[in-house]
């Protein structure tokens, strides 16, 4: 996910986080690379969902990531410690359900 591909995700992601009780799962299974543009997109979505939750919303944002290189970038940026990141889509979906 870089400048050219992150823009394709931006609009659908913005729509998904619009609700104060948004439950968003970002599946990075097909992602082999992520740069600062992709990280910024995830952070903006997380901030919007987190702001809704702070206002009484029941939403959340989770990531599903199996690629070691992408996971390393999430770790280096601190996102792996701030966001809930799971190996599988099933684990991530279960976390959203509570």
For residue range 10-67, what is the model confidence (pLDDT) as tens digits?
999 999 998 878 899 999 999 999 999 999 999 999 998 876 665 444 568 999 999 9
Q: How far out from the chain centre does Cα 12 lie?
A: 13
pLDDT tens for residues 75-92? 999 999 999 999 999 999
In which element (H, E) is residue 63 found? strand 60-64
The structural domains of the chain, ordered by start, are 3-97 (3.30.750.24)
What is residue 74's predicted lDDT score, i.e. its pLDDT? Answer: 95
What is residue 77's predicted lDDT score, i.e. its pLDDT? Answer: 94
């Amino acid at each position: 996910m870089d400048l050219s591909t992150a823009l394709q995700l931006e609009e659908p992601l913005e729509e998904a986080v619009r609700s104060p009780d948004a439950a968003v799962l970002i599946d990075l299974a097909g992602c082999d690379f992520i740069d600062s543009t992709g990280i910024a997109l995830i952070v903006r979505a997380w901030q919007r969902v987190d702001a809704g939750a702070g206002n009484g919303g029941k939403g959340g944002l989770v990531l599903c990531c199996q690629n070691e290189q992408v996971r390393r970038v999430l770790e280096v940026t601190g996102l792996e410690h701030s966001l809930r990141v799971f190996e599988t889509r099933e684990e991530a979906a279960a976390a959203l359900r509570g």
